[in-house]
Amino acid sequence: MDESKTDRASTKRGRGSIHDHKSALRISGNRFFGKIELYTFKIDHAFCVQANPPERSVI
């Protein structure tokens, strides 16, 4: 833990704004892709239900 703290402090001392900007982009990108995966899963589920309605599949 101490080593990571010292490395992070040294990178911030050298080019802090660029490093912080990259980490912020990475976090927002992960959230963005998480939302995309959630929406695609909902869309796929909706298409599966439309293709195979539960009423017809039971009969």
Q: Is residue 6 part of a domain?
A: no
Q: Is residue 43 part of a domain?
A: yes
| pTM, two decimal places | 0.25
Range of the domain at 44: 18-58
**Residue 12, domain member (yes or no):** no
Provide the pLDDT for residue 54: 59
For residue 1, being part of any structural domain is answered with no
Q: Note whether residue 51 is domain-resident.
A: yes
Contact between 43 and 37 (Cβ < 8 Å): no
3-state secondary structure (DSSP) of residue 4:
helix
**pLDDT given for residue 40 in this prediction:** 74
DSSP readout, 14-54? HHHHHHHHHHHHHHHHHHHHHHHHHHHHHHHHHHHHHHS-H
Tell me: the pLDDT tens digits for 3-43?
Answer: 455 555 555 555 555 556 566 666 666 666 667 777 777 76
On whether residue 27 sits in a domain, the answer given is yes
C-alpha dihedral (7, 13, 17, 22), degrees to nearest 10: -10
